[in-house]
């Protein structure tokens, strides 16, 4: 240990102060453990992504997850896994082969555990005075049921953190402190974390176990470029908390031999107005208009289904376009959509135009290309009498590439409203394989003793994010880690 380092000893070391880290820390404290929480941010910005999210939970009641919860997660469980291997999931977990235990796919045991534990986690949060309800959201039409805490993720963070501050002898916060590596004993056991504070001084924090709950890597451009490709330069975190998520927790687990899980080449993408500096300045009205790129061309079916079930895949297509930029173009018929303004969270006014050529001039797109694109779209639109803004209406274009599947109406009525859109990175999908105790699994299918992962560090999603499940994942996996650890201790 170097001269400029210090060491402190706790029962449990938790890296991260979002919903997963706080759930782990407080649950462990309630079960008799002394806990250290490491948080990269200053106190006033604690909480990572959780602080800035509205924290919807995919639930149909306080007692049950949504009817489609397990179905949606299984449907996005990773590529085309070998059926000769995955058929072993029909057996008890202890009979699974090491290959299956380490396989990069969404473990059905973990999904069912999250489904069972989510209502318990919700009620545990309610025990601190947090209230959940079916709150309004920014979707005009929806495909599932959602609940949220009143006050959003900020309420979760501040309520749990303030509780933790009332038991200072049991939970100690280390703000402005970034975990950098795991500490190992001479025989290789994990015995804590080596961290660096905001004066670049090393601090070794020792514990009987470590919970990695430090988020994804949406705040790390190097890792984003490595895993998401060169177009990642055109993305940014969807809210301020994401800038603190720089991937060290994932790297530490990988360096310890943890098995990767989740889709490292993908992320939860949200369509936002790049002109806005607000948190989550989403633009979700494009299903009623068209999307064009800087070449003035359409490039995707804007409305394959309801926006809540399709915006992520549409947004990743936006990232693939020149300069990662698209424009949502609407005409005056946007005013036919009930309460459309709730689906625009940017405070920057739309670009306004009275003619198609004026649109092209104002967004710096070739006039001929844009006008040709809109005329082709208009000519492919059906008779609009069956238009239904609330439900999937099957009002599809004909003979167009790409076709638009729903809500297709001609664009020719001024005034025209245009919003630029980029892909914002809400959180990355690539993470670490864990079991139903949130213990990290190594590449040989064995647990890594003393090491847990929770929240975004857990690799769970592939290709598409089943909305309103991430904060649930964080609360549940954080509690699973703490409950397992304290059972072992006691």
My answer on whether 123 and 144 are in the same domain is: yes
Flag whether 343 is in a domain. Answer: yes
Per-residue pLDDT at 138 exceeds 90 = no
Flag whether 275 is in a domain. Answer: no
Closest listed residue to residue 314, CA positions, set 346, 270, 281: 270
| Contact assessment for residue 143 and residue 58, using Cβ atoms and an 8 Å cutoff | no
pLDDT reported for residue 345? 94
Which residue range forms the structural domain that includes residue 358?
287-422
Who's near 222: CB < 8 A, 6+ residues apart? none
My answer on whether 243 and 363 are in the same domain is: no
Of 422, 453, 478, which closes a domain? 422
My answer on whether 105 and 175 are in the same domain is: yes
Which CATH number do you get for residue 332? 3.90.700.10
pLDDT reported for residue 6? 63
| Contact assessment for residue 455 and residue 478, using Cβ atoms and an 8 Å cutoff | yes
Who's near 79: CB < 8 A, 6+ residues apart? 105, 462
The predicted model gives 189-214 an average pLDDT of: 96
pLDDT reported for residue 417? 98
Of 422, 448, 481, which closes a domain? 422
Which CATH number do you get for residue 246? 3.50.50.60
pLDDT reported for residue 258? 98
Q: Taking the CA atoms of 107, 109, 111 and 117 in sequence, report the sign of the dihedral they define.
A: negative
Flag whether 272 is in a domain. Answer: no
My answer on whether 203 and 140 are in the same domain is: yes
Flag whether 314 is in a domain. Answer: yes
Band of the pLDDT at 141, cuts 50, 70, 90?
Answer: confident
The predicted model gives 214-229 an average pLDDT of: 97
**In the chain, what percentage of residues exceed pLDDT 70?**
99
Burial bucket for residue 372 (CB in 10 Å: 0-12, 13-18, 19+): middle
Strand locations in 26-97 (E): 35-38, 59-61, 64-65
Lowest mean pLDDT across 51-60, 138-147, 230-239, 477-486: 138-147
Flag whether 49 is in a domain. Answer: yes
The predicted model gives 192-211 an average pLDDT of: 96
Q: Which residue has the higher pLDDT, 73 or 6?
A: 73
My answer on whether 75 and 152 are in the same domain is: yes
pLDDT, one tens digit per residue, over 270-318 is 999 999 998 899 999 999 999 999 999 999 999 999 999 999 999 999 9
pLDDT, one tens digit per residue, over 234-272 is 999 999 999 999 999 999 999 999 999 999 999 999 999
My answer on whether 241 and 294 are in the same domain is: no
| Contact assessment for residue 382 and residue 325, using Cβ atoms and an 8 Å cutoff | no
Band of the pLDDT at 168, cuts 50, 70, 90?
Answer: confident
Flag whether 369 is in a domain. Answer: yes
Long-range contacts of 236-239 (CB under 8 A, 24+ apart): 236/422, 236/424, 236/425, 237/424, 237/425, 237/426, 238/52, 238/270, 238/272, 238/279, 238/280, 238/424, 238/425, 238/426, 239/49, 239/52, 239/53, 239/279, 239/280, 239/426
Where helices occur in 137-214 by DSSP H, the ranges are: 152-165
Per-residue pLDDT at 3 exceeds 50 = no
Flag whether 271 is in a domain. Answer: no
Instruction: Count the domains in the chain.
Output: 2
pLDDT reported for residue 5? 52
What tokens appear for 479 in the block?
């509690």
pLDDT reported for residue 136? 78
Tell me the three state secondary structure of residue 447. Answer: strand
Of 398, 422, 446, which closes a domain? 422
Residues 46, 49, 55, 59, Cα dihedral to 10°:
-120
My answer on whether 434 and 406 are in the same domain is: no
Task: Report in angstroms the alpha-carbon separations of 154 from 157, 166, 241, 282, 344.
Answer: 5, 18, 11, 19, 21
Per-residue pLDDT at 384 exceeds 80 = yes
pLDDT, one tens digit per residue, over 76-124 is 877 888 999 999 999 999 999 999 999 999 899 999 999 999 999 999 9
The predicted model gives 157-184 an average pLDDT of: 96
My answer on whether 401 and 443 are in the same domain is: no
Per-residue pLDDT at 4 exceeds 60 = no
Flag whether 281 is in a domain. Answer: no
pLDDT, one tens digit per residue, over 337-365 is 999 999 999 999 999 999 999 999 999 99
Who's near 150: CB < 8 A, 6+ residues apart? 130, 131, 132, 133, 135
My answer on whether 261 and 118 are in the same domain is: yes
My answer on whether 418 and 444 are in the same domain is: no
My answer on whether 342 and 447 are in the same domain is: no
My answer on whether 477 and 371 are in the same domain is: no
Per-residue pLDDT at 137 exceeds 90 = no
The predicted model gives 27-40 an average pLDDT of: 98
> Nearest 5°: phi and psi at 443?
-70, -15
């Amino acid at each position: 240990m170097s001269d400029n380092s210090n060491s402190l000893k706790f029962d449990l070391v938790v890296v991260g102060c979002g919903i997963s880290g706080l759930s782990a820390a407080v649950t462990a404290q309630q079960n008799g453990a002394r806990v250290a929480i490491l948080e990269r941010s200053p106190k006033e910005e604690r909480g990572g992504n959780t602080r800035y999210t509205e924290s919807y939970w995919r639930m149909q009641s306080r007692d049950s997850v949504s009817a489609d919860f397990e179905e949606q997660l299984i449907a996005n469980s990773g590529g085309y896994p070998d059926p000769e291997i995955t058929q072993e999931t029909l057996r008890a977990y202890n009979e699974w082969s090491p290959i299956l235990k380490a396989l990069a796919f969404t473990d059905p045991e973990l999904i069912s555990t999250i489904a069972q534990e989510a209502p318990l986690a919700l009620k545990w949060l309610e025990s601190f005075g947090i209230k959940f309800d079916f709150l309004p959201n920014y979707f005009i039409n929806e495909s599932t049921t959602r609940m949220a805490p009143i006050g959003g993720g900020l309420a979760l963070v501040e309520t749990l953190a303030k509780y933790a501050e009332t038991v200072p002898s049991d939970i100690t916060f280390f703000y402005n402190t970034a975990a950098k590596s795991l500490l190992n004993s001479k025989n290789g056991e994990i015995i804590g974390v080596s961290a660096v504070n905001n004066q670049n001084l090393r601090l070794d924090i020792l514990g009987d176990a470590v919970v990695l709950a430090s988020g994804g890597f949406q705040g790390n451009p190097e890792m984003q470029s490595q895993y998401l490709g060169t177009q990642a330069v055109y993305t940014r975190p969807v809210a301020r908390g994401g800038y603190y998520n720089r991937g060290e927790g994932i790297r530490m687990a990988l360096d310890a031999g943890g098995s990767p899980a989740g889709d490292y080449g993908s992320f939860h993408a949200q369509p936002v107005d790049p002109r806005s500096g607000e948190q989550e300045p989403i633009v979700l009205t494009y299903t009623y208009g068209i999307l064009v790129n800087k070449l003035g061309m359409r490039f995707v079916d804007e409305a394959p289904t309801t926006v809540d079930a399709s915006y992520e895949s549409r947004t990743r297509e936006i990232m693939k376009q020149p300069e990662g930029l698209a424009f949502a173009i609407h005409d005056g018929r946007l005013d036919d959509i009930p309460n459309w303004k709730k689906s625009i969270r940017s405070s920057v006014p739309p670009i306004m135009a009275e003619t198609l050529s004026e649109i092209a001039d104002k967004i710096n797109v070739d006039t001929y290309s844009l006008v040709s694109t809109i005329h082709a779209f208009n000519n492919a639109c059906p008779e609009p009498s069956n238009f239904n803004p609330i439900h999937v209406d099957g009002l599809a274009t004909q003979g167009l590439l790409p076709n638009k599947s729903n809500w297709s109406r001609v664009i020719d009525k001024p005034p025209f409203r245009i919003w630029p859109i980029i892909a914002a990175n809400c959180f990355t999908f690539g993470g670490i394989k864990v079991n139903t105790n949130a213990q990290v699994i190594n590449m040989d299918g064995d647990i890594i003793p003393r090491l847990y992962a929770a929240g975004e560090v857990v690799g769970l999603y592939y290709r598409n994010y089943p909305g309103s499940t991430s904060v649930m994942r964080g609360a549940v996996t954080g509690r699973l880690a703490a409950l397992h650890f304290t059972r072992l201790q006691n």
